[in-house]
Amino acid sequence: MADLIATPPRIFIQTFGCQMNELDSGKMLRLLEGDGYAATDQADDADVILINTCSVREKPEQKVRSLLGRYKGLKEANPDLIIGVTGCYAQQAKGELLRRFPLVDLVMGPDAIPRLPALVMDIQHSRSRSLATEQLDRQDYPFVNDVVVAQGGSVTAFVNIQKGCDNLCSFCIVPFTRGREVSRSADDVLDEVRRLAERGVREVTLLGQNVNSYGLKKSDAPAFHDLVAAVAGVQGIARIRFTTSNPWDLDEGLIQLYRDQQKLASYFHLPVQAGADSMLLRMRRKHTRAEYLLLVERLRQARPDLALSTDIIVGFPGETEEEHEQTLSLLEAVRYDFIYSFKYSPRPDTQAVSKYEDDVPGAVKKRRLAEIQDMQRLVTDERLQSWVGRDVEVLIEGPSKRDPQWLSGRIGQNWMVSLPGAARLVGTLVDVRIDEAVSNSLSGHANHRDTVARAGGRLTVL
């Protein structure tokens, strides 16, 4: 009897980096839940701690070191505590991590995720340390088919459609940490989307490093736009997003889908990295400035209210003032809704490191980044402001973090909107009038007169 009511062992996962890492953390959690573990948000309570790392830019080793410093006392108090380092930095540093950090029991790359329960059990039984960083580049790679829905009955979910990347952009470590590109079978993707929809998910984001090339290596796989169209056909799914998409594999089929398929959100994250052809060439991007601008034009023709975002790197080796100006002028030409911008940081194994010197001084990188961000800030503010007074469709995701009487959700263009309203609207599409643009989000009120009444001077959905 005692066994039945014993508290389950607990797992704590700390996640860094991109949406793929977030999804991976969810999958690791689900896999261990299947073995009787329960999630905790307190490292102090945990029997297993996983640090799911990112090595795309920052200094991942320092982050791991400082976290392990915090967990040292926990391990001393509980020698059975298992500490693992997972994700892209684990894949990059491999055995070096075990050598450098005696506290670490498990070093596991992204490809080993399906084996996590077995690896943990093995460490428990043998009390030995484990390294799982072999890469699986097989086309029958075993994607984890478990549905991952964030706690609290999520309205939105990520769905993995692809792993790895076959491009070798010269600055990028991802092809080394995540391996060759493999597409997940369309049947599995659709099956997962159906199961998510049954659990109340209304919006899915299809995830891959280079989603436009989905299926290209498999003769029997649909093209990416056909996959998106099939996902749109799943009952209950109201909205579809995807990331990341690269300009050179973007074809007419997807542009056409923006014209025809209203469930495809009016949002496109299309990384450009730089505005000068000479830089794009050194970065080994397979598009020119003119080709990129043409794509933007065609996308906007297909979907006039499309919101666009991008990634920019400043200070890539050899970047001249003139090249930097061209990035600024590209931002001006496109007028993105928002951008992610980064200072170049040399990454191990990449071609940029072996071929070029990191020769743009830190102060110059800093100034160029500030110039880019200052210019974009003005455009982003204008774009946000342009929503005021307009009617939009908001997919309500849950109560607002600031005020539980309020709800928050997103419009297709990806902006967060908060509005007063009742919890029963979570998971529904609500017609909203935007009243205000505040920092990086919008606020408004529901338009349905029959569901709205004034209470204490404030709009409340009954």
Please give the backbone phi and psi of residue 158, each rounded to the nearest 5 degrees, phi first: -90, 145
End-to-end CA distance of the chain: 47
Residue 24 or 47: the one with the smaller Cβ distance to ligand F3S is 24
**Identified binder of ligand F3S from the candidate list 210, 243, 310, 418, rule CB under 6 A:** 210
Residue 248 DSSP code? G
From the centroid of its chain, how far is CA 269?
11
Minimum CB distance to ligand SAH, residue 253 (Å)? 20
Interior angle at CA 68, CA 67 and CA 72, nearest 5: 125
Does 172 bind ligand F3S (CB under 6 A)? Our answer is: yes
Does 174 bind ligand SAH (CB under 6 A)? Our answer is: yes
Stretch that binds ligand SAH, among 98-106, 337-345, 403-411, 435-443 (CB under 6 A): 337-345
Minimum CB distance to ligand SAH, residue 197 (Å)? 24
Task: Return the residue matching tokens 């043409």.
Answer: 294
Which among ligand SAH, ligand F3S, none contacts residue 167 (Cβ within 5 to 8 A by kind)? Answer: ligand F3S
From the centroid of its chain, how far is CA 420?
28
Minimum CB distance to ligand SAH, residue 365 (Å)? 10
Task: Return the residue matching tokens 């006039």.
Answer: 304
Site size toward ligand F3S, by CB under 6 A: 10
Stretch that binds ligand F3S, among 40-48, 163-171, 351-359, 429-437 (CB under 6 A): 163-171
**Identified binder of ligand F3S from the candidate list 154, 246, 309, 443, rule CB under 6 A:** 246
Residue 68 or 189: the one with the smaller Cβ distance to ligand SAH is 189
Stretch that binds ligand F3S, among 27-35, 170-178, 223-231, 389-397 (CB under 6 A): 170-178
d(CA 361, CA 278): 19
For helices 116-126 and 19-33, angle between their N-to-C axes, nearest 10 degrees: 60
Contact 314, 368 (CB under 8 A): yes
d(CA 99, CA 162): 32
Site size toward ligand SAH, by CB under 6 A: 17
The encoded tokens of residue 149 equal 């829905």
SS3 448: coil
Stretch that binds ligand F3S, among 58-66, 75-83, 160-168, 197-205 (CB under 6 A): 160-168
Stretch that binds ligand SAH, among 169-177, 219-227, 233-241, 384-392 (CB under 6 A): 169-177
Does 412 bind ligand F3S (CB under 6 A)? Our answer is: no
Which among ligand SAH, ligand F3S, none contacts residue 9 (Cβ within 5 to 8 A by kind)? Answer: none
Q: How many other C-beta atoms can be found within 10 angstroms of the C-beta atom of residue 159? A: 23
**Identified binder of ligand F3S from the candidate list 53, 209, 408, 443, rule CB under 6 A:** 209
Contact 98, 123 (CB under 8 A): no
SS3 418: strand
- Pick from 305, 303, 239, 311: nearest CA to 275: 311
Q: How many other C-beta atoms can be found within 10 angstroms of the C-beta atom of residue 198? A: 12
Enumerate residues 228-267 that contact ligand SAH by CB under 6 A.
244
Does 17 bind ligand SAH (CB under 6 A)? Our answer is: no
- Residues of the shown chain interacting with ligand F3S in the complex, contacts defined by CB under 6 A: 165, 167-169, 172, 174-175, 209-210, 246
Residues forming contacts to ligand SAH in the complex (CB under 6 A) are 18, 56-57, 171-172, 174, 209-210, 244, 271, 273, 311, 313, 342, 344-345, 347
